[in-house]
Amino acid sequence: MSPMSLKPAKALTRLPAALLALVLAVVLAACGSSGDDAGGDPSAAANAGAFPVTIEHKYGSTEISEKPEKVVTLGLSDQDAALALGVKPVGAVDWFKERPYGSWSWAKEHWGGTQPEIVGERDEYNMEKIAGLEPDLIIAQYSGMAKEQYDKLSQIAPVVAQPKEYPDYAAPWQDMSRRIGKALGQEDQMNQLIEQLDQRFAEVRENHPQWAEQTMIVADSFEPGAYSAFTSTDPKAIFFREMGFKLSEEVDRTAEEGMNVAELSSEQLGMLDADRLVWVTSGEEANNRIKAEPLYQRLKVHQDGRDLFVPYENPDVGAAFSFNTVLSIPYAIDQMVPMLEEK
C-alpha cells in the first residue's frame, strides 16, 4: 500500500489466545515491579493534575487515571502530536517504511537519539511487541483500528481509538491533536499549538487572497497509466484548503465511498485540469513519466505551467503535508508557499 492510499485494513495481526494470555501475564508481573519514576520530569506534577480524564471514541470511552509514562502510538502520524508535547512514544507504526525512524526534518530534533520500537505497519499491529513494551497508554487517532484489535489492545493498556464522529482517517488534525493532548494531560498546551498554526494558515490566506478563487487538486501516480487525485478528506488536500484554495468537487464525486483518492486512467486525466495542480511523487523518474504522457500534455494546467511537482522525500516536503500534523505543518508551509508563489 502506498503512502497515499488509505482504506480500512481487513487483515488483522492475530495472536493465539494462549500466547496473548502468556504475554499479558508477563507484562502484568513486570509492571508490578517497575521502578520507573516521573520525578525527573519538571512538568510531571502539573500534568498529573489533569487526571483522571475520559475520552470518547469509536468503540466507547476510555478513562486514563494518571499521567502515562510509556505511550504507544498506532495512528500513522500520531507520534507527531505526542512529540510536540515532549512525549517520545516507546512504540509506533511504520507508514512510509522509514528506517531509522524519526528522520523527518520536522521531527528529528524532537526524537533526539531515541527511536521507538516499530510495532506494526499501517493498521496491522504486532500485539506481542506492544505488550512487551509495557505501555500504560495506547493512542490510535489517525488509524483504521478494528474493534477486534481494540478489544485485544485494551487487555494491555487503556486505548484511545479513532474519533467516532468521522470516518476512519477523516478526522481533522485539530480534533485528533486535542484528543492526544487531553490523553497526555496537556490539553491547554496542545490548544496553544493549534491556535498558533491556525494563525499561520490565516496569515497565508491573508497574504494570498487570490488563492481563494483557485481550485487546487493534489495528485500522485505510482505506475504508468494509473493516477490518483486526493479527496477533500485526505490530509494533503486539507492542507491546501487551509492555505486558502478551493478543492475539486468532481474528485470527491468520482472517488469510491470510503476512499481518500479518486483513481483515474490516462483517459480521465482531463479531471485534473484545474487552476492549480500539485503532484506529490516519488521523484524525478515519476515526474518525467507523468510529463511524457500525451494526454497529460494536452491539459491547459500543464501547458500554462500551473502544475507543480513535489517529492515525498529528499526533500521531504510531500511527506510533511501528507502527515499534516502540529509538527509537520510549519515545515510544509515554509516549503510550499514559495513554490506556489513562483507559479
Q: Which of 190, 221, 240 is the last residue of a domain?
A: 190
Shared domain for 222 and 96, answered yes or no, is: no
Shared domain for 172 and 135, answered yes or no, is: yes
Per-residue pLDDT reduced to its tens digit, 197-208: 999 999 999 999
Can you name the residues that pair with 277 across neighbouring β-strands?
217, 307
Shared domain for 161 and 241, answered yes or no, is: no
Q: Does the pLDDT value for residue 45 go beyond 60?
A: no
Q: Which of 144, 161, 190 is the last residue of a domain?
A: 190
So what's the pLDDT on residue 330?
98
Q: How many distinct structural domains can be found in the chain?
A: 2
Shared domain for 256 and 331, answered yes or no, is: yes
Domain assignment of residue 63, yes or no: yes
Domain assignment of residue 32, yes or no: no
In this prediction the pTM is 0.85
Distance CA 273, CA 143 (A): 32
| Residue 54, domain extent | 49-190
Per-residue pLDDT reduced to its tens digit, 82-128: 999 999 999 999 988 766 566 799 999 999 989 999 999 989 999 99
Length of the chain: 343
For residues 136 and 159, is the Cβ–Cβ distance under 8 A? no
Shared domain for 269 and 155, answered yes or no, is: no
Domain of 217, CATH number, reads 3.40.50.1980
Q: Residue 159: in which H helix or E strand, if any?
A: strand 159-160
Q: What mean pLDDT comes out for the span 136-149?
A: 98
Q: Which of 190, 216, 247 is the last residue of a domain?
A: 190
Per-residue pLDDT reduced to its tens digit, 155-181: 999 999 999 999 999 999 999 999 999
For the chain, the C-alpha Rg in angstroms (whole number) is 21
Count of H-run helices and E-run strands, the chain: 15, 14
Name 327's Cβ contacts closer than 8 Å, sequence gap at least 6: 80, 81, 83, 84, 106, 107, 110
Shared domain for 330 and 273, answered yes or no, is: yes
Residue 245 cell numbers, joined: 484554495
Distance CA 309, CA 303 (A): 14
Name 166's Cβ contacts closer than 8 Å, sequence gap at least 6: 172, 175
